[in-house]
């Protein structure tokens, strides 16, 4: 194996590894959310991410067993309230959430429960028993919400923007009927129902990955590494 071939192999491995790594990094990094919103006292536990995070595929179902398609909520602020029938604070929240769901009808804010009970069949019976059948809730029997981020406490609320990205979370019990909750939710919706992403950065990242991939292919399929000026400039000047 001559020196030139060794250099080519090393260059190909480096370019391939860097390209794959770049694709992974760029695909998981979301847009910058900018200046965090000022929170009222009741919302102090709320954590707003500095960068939006792509959601993994969630295995969430309606109580009738139909798989939920979160893309139907594009253009809305979606709040997923993770709860369980065994959770006392969750049960305290539900009547308040029912009232809030009614108030938000027709708005760009949607609040939906996500029960993490193993037995889905028992959820409607539980809600009926406690006279809370109006609660709009789905089920997550396999706890796929754990794929988003570990559930340290129940209830936990996940805040999802209008493009399907996770932008924050609110752990623990919240008095949803507090006078400061609704105005803050409207501020969240104003910021995140139609998020402004940095598309120029995304485009540059995609260009970088494409050029690195082309360089990798060239190295693996050429006997000599000869890049003319324009080609080299196109590879590095992104």
Contact criterion met (CB below 8 Å) for 90 and 83 = yes
8 Å CB contact between 189 and 108: yes
Average pLDDT, the chain: 81
Give 231's Cβ-side CA count (13 Å radius). 8
Within 8 A by CB and 6+ apart from 54, the residues are 27, 28, 30, 164, 165, 166
Beta-strand ranges (E) seen in the chain are 29-32, 47-54, 61-62, 77-83, 109-115, 137-139, 156-160, 165-171
Residue 234 has pLDDT above 70, yes or no: no
Q: How many CA atoms lie within 13 A of 223 on its CB side?
A: 2
Question: Tokens for 227?
Answer: 């890049």
138 DSSP β-pair partners: 62, 114
pLDDT in tens, 94-145: 999 999 999 999 999 999 999 999 999 999 999 999 999 999 999 999 999 8
Tell me the pLDDT tens digit for each residue of 84-100: 999 999 999 999 999 99
Cα gap 53→50, rounded to integer Å: 10
Residue 15 pLDDT greater than 90, yes or no: no
Domains and CATH numbers, the chain: 3-25+200-236 (no CATH), 36-194 (3.40.30.10)
Which residues partner with 53 through β-bridges?
29, 166
Q: Of residues 6 and 101, which shows the higher confidence score?
A: 101
Cβ–Cβ under 8 Å, residues 172 and 195: no
The DSSP output letter for 71 is: G
Using the structure block, give the residue that is written with the tokens 């752990």: 171
Beta-carbon contacts of residue 7 (< 8 Å; ≥ 6 apart): 225
| Average pLDDT for 25-34 | 68
pLDDT in tens, 169-186: 999 999 999 999 999 999
Across 20-40, average pLDDT: 69
pLDDT at residue number 194: 96
DSSP code of residue 158? E
Q: What is the C-alpha to C-alpha distance for residues 44 and 39, in angstroms, rounded to an integer?
A: 6
Tell me what percent of the residues of the chain surpass a pLDDT of 90: 65
pLDDT of residue 16: 42
What pLDDT, on a 0 to 100 scale, did the predictor assign at position 128? 97
The CA–CA distances, whole Å, from 46 to 91, 121, 164, 181 equal 20, 32, 19, 11
């Amino acid at each position: 194996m001559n020196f030139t071939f060794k250099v080519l192999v090393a260059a190909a491995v480096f370019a391939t590894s860097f390209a794959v790594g770049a694709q992974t990094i760029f695909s998981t990094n979301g847009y910058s959310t900018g200046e965090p919103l000022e929170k009222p006292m009741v919302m102090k536990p709320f954590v707003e991410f500095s960068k939006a995070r792509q959601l993994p595929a969630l295995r969430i179902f309606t109580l009738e067993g139909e798989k939920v398609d979160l893309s139907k909520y594009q253009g809305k602020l979606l709040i997923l309230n993770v709860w369980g029938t065994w959770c006392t604070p969750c049960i305290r929240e539900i009547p308040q959430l029912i009232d809030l769901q009614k108030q938000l009808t027709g708005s760009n804010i949607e609040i939906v429960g996500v029960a993490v009970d193993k037995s889905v069949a028992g959820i409607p019976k539980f809600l009926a028993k406690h006279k809370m059948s109006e609660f709009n809730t789905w089920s997550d029997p396999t706890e796929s919400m754990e794929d988003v981020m570990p559930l340290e406490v129940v209830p936990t609320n996940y805040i999802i923007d209008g493009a399907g990205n996770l932008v924050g979370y609110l752990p623990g019990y919240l008095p949803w009927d507090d006078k400061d909750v609704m105005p803050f939710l409207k501020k969240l919706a104003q910021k995140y129902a139609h998020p402004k992403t940095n598309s120029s950065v995304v485009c540059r990242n995609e260009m970088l990955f494409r050029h690195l991939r082309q360089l990798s292919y060239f190295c693996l399929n050429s006997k000599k590494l000869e890049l003319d000026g324009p080609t080299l400039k196109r590879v590095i000047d992104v």
